[in-house]
């Protein structure tokens, strides 16, 4: 079996087309075995523990396991099926067990502890110091100092959590896939753009059904909520979206939410922390839940008056336009879009012809070239996991190899919602060789139709720039150790490179590079550019309040003892109270589909989007003071932020780049929440 398992051979690029589904599990089990042998070699060494034979040896161990699992779990997100999901359920406890075997290995920890306690006598550089600190903390934060009985409890909790998080995500995906809104009466589609209707008709045709089909996938859901005049249909779709995982059936996530929150709390208490949030935030820029709460409340204080004014304006507008007395959640996007059109005479349908996907890709590449001297060449000799995926070799100014870049843009049934950046191979230096990274971005953008290419909404344009900002963080990594490379940074720092790049989408100099009409080639008119800029802060107070509400909901689950919570919905209603604008919808629940915090890595960290916005607004202000394509500022950003990964504390890196600590003022100015 092993001899013909492609995953167990040596390969530079992921050999997707040669991997059989049945290869994954044996490859992962064998790679775990190999990694264990490498750990044993460190532990069994008769030599006294040194930085090289213990810390570095541990850092470079398990490389085959890292490669195989990165391929497998990326496929489980982007091109999954029932077999792959079943394998994920089977191997996740094994991987959790292996991680615990390493972290709770007393002999290994003793060697690490010896090196750590003698660090003042070692001649370590900054990156080596950081690696030593992180390795020591990795063990102590995961139970290395616990008594054996408590270590066993920790193992059980971790095993259970790994299963529950997978199940949570599978339920959300299944709920998203099983719902469809079929419309056979065209008069009920009033307001929807023709291209969007055409796409919905194609979906119906693929399913051998009549009329038009709309789904809960973002490229279908968001435009429908924005443009459909039929309020009842908007309500139906919104209720379906808002009730994912909340149906008291086999896909219900309420029990999973409670179990995950409680197990995380128990885990934190075992390790001597007050709560899961206290545990998480010890390794963040924000440091404590109290600081996060203060940050969210400061933002809330500034945003709430603006949000309430905007809500009143929107409600009055809806009453004048369609006689609606009380705004509901399913009215927000629709009337927001109508008001935006009235105020700015600008909508996605006017802008989309200027944002053909291939032009936007070309634009973001050109911006990366202007800022960082990167060159992207599409290649067709790299294996892919799906025909939709595009592959690019990335080189630097002197032709040196920088990275391999995968891009996967359109929705499919086996692909989870949203957009993300991921890694197939980390950058690191070993034996004098600088191994370059393999980076991927995965999105769910509007598909091309028989009549039109893929035309992006402006929101999709900013999403592409956002994920590409993460990709640059990975591509431009230049560190010695893989665990400190690229986006391996504090979670509330990781969004800086992504969010800062979104700013270029609003700038004339940048837009003129790629915003060209897909039929005529005409550059986007100046008046549209001005309106994009003017409308950037449209309903910003409400948008800020929404983000703050998610951060507060996250903290409500993780900053205290959740054992007293027996009703997910009631708890959520209470958490949302300070930020609530719309009436609550009894049949909806956010927590049961809040994948960021219950499946992904954002638990006790959702605030980091707003935190990183403070950093990104402050950073972009620096660029605008010197020109948005200033090579000098770009070099400083690359040198101090993008290339350094997690080699130093992010605040030190930021101060070295900017010359000072960030303040919220630049963000509040940009959002129009305080005067310039």
Is there a contact between 91 and 165 (Cβ–Cβ < 8 Å)? no
Query: In b/e form, how buried is each residue of 426-437, taking b as 16+ CB within 10 angstroms?
Result: bbbeeeeeebbb
Is there a contact between 310 and 541 (Cβ–Cβ < 8 Å)? yes
Q: What angle do CA 552, 445, 180 make, to 5 degrees?
A: 80
Round to whole Å and give the CA distance between 670 and 536: 9
Determine the 3-state secondary structure of 375 from DSSP: strand
How far, CA to CA in Å, does 168 sit from each of 30, 161, 453, 589?
A: 28, 10, 35, 14
Round to whole Å and give the CA distance between 242 and 329: 10
Give the helix ranges, DSSP H, for 60-181.
63-78, 82-103, 106-117, 126-140, 148-178
Round to whole Å and give the CA distance between 485 and 481: 6
Tokens matching residue 298: 């400061």
In the numeric block, the tokens 């999403």 are attached to: 463
Is there a contact between 417 and 218 (Cβ–Cβ < 8 Å)? yes
End-to-end CA gap in the chain:
66
Round to whole Å and give the CA distance between 659 and 621: 13
**Which one from 467, 507, 572, 613 is the annotated catalytic residue?**
467
Please give, one letter per residue, the 3-state secondary structure of 319-362: HHHHCCCCCCHHHHHHHHHHHHHHHHCCCHHHHHHHCEHHHHHH
**Consecutive H or E run containing 183:** strand 181-183
* DSSP structure string for 376-442: EEE-SSS--SSTT-EEEEEE-TTS-EEEEEEEE-S--TTS-SS-EEEEEE--EEETTEEEPPEEEEE
Catalytic site includes residue 467: yes
Is there a contact between 425 and 70 (Cβ–Cβ < 8 Å)? yes
Determine the 3-state secondary structure of 522 from DSSP: coil
Residue (of 234, 233, 216, 217) closest to 225 by Cα position:
234
In the numeric block, the tokens 């167990």 are attached to: 8
Is there a contact between 492 and 284 (Cβ–Cβ < 8 Å)? yes
Determine the 3-state secondary structure of 315 from DSSP: helix
* DSSP structure string for 149-176: HHHHHHHHHHHHHHHHHHHHHHHHHHHH
The DSSP bridge partners found for residue 391 are 406
Round to whole Å and give the CA distance between 294 and 281: 14
Cβ atoms within 10 A of the Cβ of 12, count?
11
Is there a contact between 181 and 240 (Cβ–Cβ < 8 Å)? yes
Round to whole Å and give the CA distance between 462 and 458: 6
What is the set of active-site residues? 467
């Amino acid at each position: 079996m092993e001899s013909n398992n492609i995953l167990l051979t040596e390969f530079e690029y992921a050999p997707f087309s040669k991997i059989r589904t049945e290869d994954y599990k044996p490859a992962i089990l064998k790679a775990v075995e190999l990694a264990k042998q490498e750990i044993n070699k460190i532990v069994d060494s008769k030599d006294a523990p040194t930085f090289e034979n213990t810390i570095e040896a541990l850092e470079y161990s398990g490389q085959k396991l890292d490669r195989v699992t990165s391929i497998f779990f990326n496929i489980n997100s982007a091109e999954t099926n029932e077999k792959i999901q079943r394998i994920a359920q089977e191997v996740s406890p094994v991987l959790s067990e292996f991680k615990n075997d390493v972290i709770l290995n007393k002999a290994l920890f003793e060697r690490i502890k010896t090196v750590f306690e003698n660090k003042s006598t070692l001649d370590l550089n900054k990156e080596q110091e950081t690696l030593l600190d992180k390795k020591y903390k990795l063990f102590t934060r995961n139970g290395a100092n616990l008594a054996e009985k408590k270590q066993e409890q920790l193992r059980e909790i971790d095993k259970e959590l790994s299963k529950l998080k997978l199940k949570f995500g599978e339920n959300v995906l299944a709920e998203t896939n099983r719902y469809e809104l079929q419309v056979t009466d065209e008069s009920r589609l009033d307001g929807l753009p023709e291209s969007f209707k055409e796409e919905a008709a194609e979906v119906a045709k693929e399913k051998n059904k009549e009329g038009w089909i709309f789904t809960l996938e973002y490229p279908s859901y968001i435009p429908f909520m924005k443009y459909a005049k039929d309020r009842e249909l908007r309500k139906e779709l919104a209720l379906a979206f808002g009730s994912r995982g909340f149906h008291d059936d086999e896909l219900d996530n309420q029990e999973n939410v409670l179990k995950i929150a409680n197990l995380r709390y128990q885990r934190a208490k075992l390790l001597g922390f007050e709560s899961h949030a206290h545990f998480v935030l010890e390794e963040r820029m924000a440091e404590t839940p109290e600081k996060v709460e203060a940050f969210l409340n400061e933002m809330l204080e500034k945003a709430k008056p603006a949000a309430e004014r905007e809500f009143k304006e929107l409600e009055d507008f809806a009453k004048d336009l369609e006689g609606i007395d009380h705004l509901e959640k399913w009215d927000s996007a629709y009337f927001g879009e109508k008001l935006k059109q009235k105020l700015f005479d600008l909508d996605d349908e006017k802008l989309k012809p200027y944002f053909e996907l291939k032009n936007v890709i070309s634009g973001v590449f050109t911006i990366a070239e202007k800022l960082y001297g990167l060159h992207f060449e599409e290649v067709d000799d790299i294996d892919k996991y799906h025909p939709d995926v595009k592959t690019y070799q990335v080189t630097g100014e002197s032709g040196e190899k920088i990275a391999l870049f995968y891009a996967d843009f359109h929705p499919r049934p086996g692909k989870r919602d949203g957009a993300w950046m991921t890694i197939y191979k980390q950058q690191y230096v070993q034996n004098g060789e600088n191994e370059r990274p393999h980076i991927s971005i995965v999105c769910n953008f509007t598909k091309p139709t028989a009549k039109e290419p893929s035309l992006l909404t402006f929101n999709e344009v900013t999403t592409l720039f956002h994920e590409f900002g993460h990709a640059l963080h990975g591509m431009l990594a230049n560190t010695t150790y893989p665990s400190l490379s690229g986006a391996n940074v504090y979670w509330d720092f990781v969004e800086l490179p992504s969010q800062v790049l979104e700013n270029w989408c609003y700038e004339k100099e940048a837009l003129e590079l790629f915003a060209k009409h897909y039929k005529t080639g005409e550059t986007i008119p100046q008046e549209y550019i001005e309106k994009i800029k003017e409308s950037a802060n449209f309903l910003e107070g409400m948008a800020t309040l929404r983000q703050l509400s998610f951060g507060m909901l996250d903290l409500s689950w993780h900053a205290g003892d959740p054992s007293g919570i027996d009703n997910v919905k009631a708890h959520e209603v209470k958490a949302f109270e300070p930020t609530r604008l719309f009436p609550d919808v009894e049949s909806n629940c956010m927590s049961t589909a809040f994948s960021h915090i219950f499946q992904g890595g954002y638990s006790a960290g959702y605030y980091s989007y707003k935190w990183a916005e403070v950093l990104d607004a402050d950073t972009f202000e620096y660029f605008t003071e010197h020109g948005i394509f200033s090579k000098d500022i770009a070099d400083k950003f690359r040198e101090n932020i993008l290339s350094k990964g997690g080699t130093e504390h992010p605040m030190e890196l930021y101060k070295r780049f900017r010359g000072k600590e960030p303040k919220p003022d630049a963000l509040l100015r940009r959002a129009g929440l305080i005067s310039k």
